[in-house]
Structure 1
Amino acid sequence: MPARLVDRHPEVPADQLVAQMVPPPMFDEVSFSSYIPDPNEPSQAAAVREAEDFAGEVARITEAAKKKTLFGRKKQVSGAGLYLDGGFGVGKTHLLASVFHSAPAPKSFGTFGEVTNLVGALGFAATVERLSGNSVLCIDEFELDDPGDTMLVSRLLTELSAAGVSIAATSNTLPGQLGEGRFAAQDFLREIKKLGSIFEAVRVDGPDYRHRDLPPAPEPSATDALRERAAATPDATLDEFGALLAHLATLHPSKYRELIAGVSAVFLENVAPVTDQAVALRVVVLADRLYDAGTPVTVSGAKLDQIFAADMLEGGYRKKYLRAISRLLALSRFEVPTS
């Protein structure tokens, strides 16, 4: 009988939240040289050059900060800033992870949600203290749809930059929306106007590489076949979709990474479109953690591109939902391990 995610109740100490702020495993070995720009999208090659230049600046700032003034004090140097703005699946996270790998330690990498979770777990002052010695803080998927969280992180970045920490961030824009990338960058810079003068916004265009030349969402499995496959897959989990959604509500999103730790594949029965916003946002976080871990997902019920109700894709959180769909579809095509 396969294990169930709903039977897991992980606890994550605050120190672990800091220690686990590194790129997802699928980005462990990436570099600027391993990014393959689309020849039809010149902005991608330009973005690689900009990111490499930024990484060099991070190293120079770190060295400058080690020098002392005539009075024996460390020289005060402000951090640099890079903002990679583009659509889904154009390699922004690859470039962000490459910045992380090239920067001197200590350094941190996390999603926008993980950064806000860290502040929630440690408190604002302790978070500043923990991160102020970094050479760089890399923030993937910077969000603009929650004013409170955005202002919180803006204040955090202001203080970290003043302490000499460089900041690199990425953000998604909606495909097919002319000008939206520029508006997103402007909104971001406006929200962190104290940092605006040091941030360079770099556009990364192109189609979602996760779905280039790929067929539409795969058909869901029959429930009996799903159960048989889950039972034959070592270290897999099998959950009823509604029960898993209820379980996610009992866990802080900072625990979702630990929830799926060691799971080789996730099987979900009776997937149905999510109609509640709070529930949908939890699904987004889970999808991000599954994608980070490269965990295959197989379902029965509705197709994964129908996991969010149609009217929700028209609301303020639609870019999050579209990102989650993109990632879940990619995971549905991953090879499920066999015994």
Structure 2
Amino acid sequence: MMHNGATPTPDRLKALYREALASGRLEPDAAQAQCVDALDAFGRDATQQKSPATTKLRSAIRRRVTRAGPGRGLYLLGEVGRGKTMLMDLFFESLDFRQKRRVHFHEFMQEILRALNSPQLRQKRYDDPLAELAWRIAQHNRVLCFDEFQLNDMSDAVVNLRIINLLLAAGVHIVMTSNTHPDALLHHNRQAQTTIRPLITKIMAHIRVITLEARRDYRRARDMAENAWRVPPDAESREIFTRIFREISASAPAQAHLQIGSRQFPIACSGDGVARCQFAELCSVMSGTAEFLALAARYPVVIIEDIPQLSSDRYDEALRFIRLIDVLYENGTRLYASSDVWPENLYPAGENVTAFQRTISRLEEMRSRSWHDLPGIS
């Protein structure tokens, strides 16, 4: 029986996948085909699932009781560039109902944190504000698709895992992509093994892990755009970026400020649709996802100069750079950069070096001709 007016199209995801193969956008890949089968079955279950009554929904969230057994979520695991995001996007497109959302996990968590700190939520003085937020989200979303799920520190992890657990309790179907196995999340943090690991185990009891072992990184081996990544950051590079800035912006460079809540984040060199920044201005200060989202929202073109090779003792800067590139990539930002080294040598060793592989792969795509020729980017 169908609900909320949803009528699933048989094998709709498989049909979209075949169309992508026929058009040449994708190449045949056995691992991806198996993942499509799993996503297709998952989508059928999500479509046929009856939405719970409001009172039962709120009760389930408050009691933290997951209303279904294993199968409520899918965790697409794989190395960088193997097509996880592409497959999730096809899955999202295949869902023939409106109560769905696809969002980068960093962006979603920023929304949660802003909502938790909002005057409206604070004035109501809920016993559990996070549970209240989960209830509101579940009322409008039967499926949530989170791209690039990752836990980077203890403080964020507690909120991240609690909201996922509450959404599962509400009966929301969740799809996540990640290049980190659930068992390896925060594995370097000893405190996490006693405080966070039990919650991860509880959540994963309701989520199926699918490993995407595609044979190649589809982002690499591309035709690269001229001047998208300059080595080294010398006078010639600065002159080229000055010319690019002038070609894009109709106004002279000037200082600007991005408004993030009650705070302001300075952009030393701002123009019409383009920002020119030093690496240190973005990643050597107390910046984070909120600042990077504001940057991407305002500027379709970003120039980052003087990116150093990052050693293990510069872990905080490496983590900020990972988040910065994630946000710029997700927003289709056109990137120009100068660095001491090529992307594959930016962070050769240290904590989170595995996560940095995703950043390298994304940088390879972002300096390709196809990326710089994206429609809508002047």
After superposition, residues 116-131 of structure 1 pair within 5 angstroms as 116-123=109-116, 124-131=130-137
8 Å contact 1:58–1:135 — kept in the other structure? yes
Show the counterpart of 1:193.
Answer: 201
**1:13-65: CA deviations, max 9, x gaps?**
xxxxxxxxxxxxxxxxx9545554643x422100011111111111111x354
- Ranked by relative contact order (alpha carbons within 8 Å, sequence separation 6 or more), the top structure is 1
From the superposition, tell whether residues 34 and 141 of structure 1 become closer, same or farther in structure 2 (CA, over 3 Å): farther
Q: 1:226 to 1:257 in 2, by over 3 A?
A: same
SS of structure 2 residue aligned to 1:138: strand
Q: Deviations over 1:79-134 (max 9, x none)?
A: 82111111111111122223333443333333333343333222323431331222
In structure 2, relative to structure 1, the CA distance for the partners of 1:323 and 1:229 (3 Å cut) is: same
Aligned to 1:328: 363
Which deviates more, 163-172 or 229-238?
229-238
Q: Is the deviation greater in 250-259 or in 46-55?
A: 250-259
1:208 lines up with 2:217 in the alignment: yes
Aligned partners of 1:83, 1:135: CA distance in 2, in Å? 17
Aligned pairs (5 A) from 1:11-90: 32-33=17-18, 35-36=20-21, 38-39=27-28, 41-61=29-49, 63=50, 65=52, 78=68, 80-90=72-82
Deviation at 1:215, TM superposition (A): 7.3
- 1:268 alignment partner in structure 2: 304
1:233 equivalent in structure 2 = 248
CA gap of 1:126–1:302, structure 2 versus 1, over 3 A, is farther
Give the drift of 1:148. 4.6
* 1:146-196 C-alpha deviation (Å, 9 max, x unpaired): 3553443332222211211111111114xxxxxxx59559x9997533333
Q: Does the 8 Å CA contact 2:301/2:333 hold for their aligned counterparts?
A: yes
> Residue 176 of structure 1 aligns with which residue?
none
- Maintained 8 Å contact 2:99/2:142: yes
Residue identity in the other structure for 2:202:
K
| Secondary structure of the corresponding residue to residue 337 of structure 2 | strand
Match of 2:85 in 1: 93
* Paired amino acid for 2:299: V
Please state whether the residue corresponding to 1:261 is helix, strand or coil. Answer: helix
Q: Deviations over 1:234-276 (max 9, x none)?
A: 4322223323335xx3544224222122423222232222442
The alpha-carbon distance between structure 1 residues 67 and 282, as it changes in their structure 2 partners (threshold 3 A), is closer
Report if the CA contact (8 A) 2:229-2:338 is conserved: no
- Structure 2 residue identity aligned to 1:119: I
Structure 2 SS opposite 1:314 = coil
Distance 2:242 2:281 in 1: 16
Query: Secondary structure of 1:110's partner?
Result: strand
Count the aligned residue pairs. 289
Give the Cα–Cα distance (whole angstroms) in 2 for the partners of residues 91 and 319 of structure 1. 17
Instruction: Give the letter aligned to residue 211 of structure 1.
Output: R
1:331 Cα offset (Å): 1.1
Q: In structure 2, how many angstroms separate the alpha carbons of the residues matched to 1:115 and 1:289?
A: 12
Does residue 135 (structure 1) correspond to residue 142 (structure 2)? The answer is yes
State which of 303, 306, 326 in structure 2 corresponds to 1:288: 326
User: What residue ranges of structure 1 are gaps of 5+ in the alignment?
Assistant: 1-29, 70-75, 174-180
Percent identical residues: 25
Q: What is the RMSD of the two structures over their aligned residues, measured on CA atoms?
A: 3.5
Per the normalisation by structure 2, the TM-score is: 0.65
- Kindly indicate whether the alpha-carbon contact (under 8 Å) linking 1:218 and 1:303 is maintained by their aligned counterparts in 2: no
- Structure 2 residue runs without a partner (length 5+): 1-14, 57-65, 117-129, 188-195, 250-272
What aligned pairs does 1:112-191 form with structure 2 within 5 A after superposition? Answer: 112-123=105-116, 124-133=130-139, 134-173=141-180, 184=184, 191=199
Deviation (angstroms), 1:214: 5.7
Change over 3 Å in CA distance of 1:301–1:200 after alignment to 2: closer
Residue 121 and residue 34 in structure 1: after superposition, are their counterparts in 2 closer, same or farther (change >3 A)? farther
Which of the pair has more CA radius of gyration?
2
- Note the C-alpha offset of 1:294: 1.7
SS in 1 for 2:325: helix
Structure 1's 189 and 83: CA in aligned 2 closer, same or farther, altered over 3 A?
farther
Which residue type is aligned with residue 100 of structure 2?
A: K
The yes-or-no answer on 1:305 pairing with 2:343 is: yes
Name the stretch that deviates more: 155-164 or 262-271.
262-271
Against the structure 1 CA distance between its residues 219 and 191, is the aligned structure 2 distance closer, same or farther, given a 3 Å change threshold?
same
- The question of 1:277 aligning with 2:265 is answered no
Deviations 1:269-295 (A, max 9, x none): 322224422222221111011111222
Aligned residue for 1:132, secondary structure, equals: helix
Counterpart Cα distance in 2 of 1:170 and 1:307: 25
| Corresponding position of 1:111 | 104
**Tell me, what secondary structure is at the counterpart of 2:201?**
coil
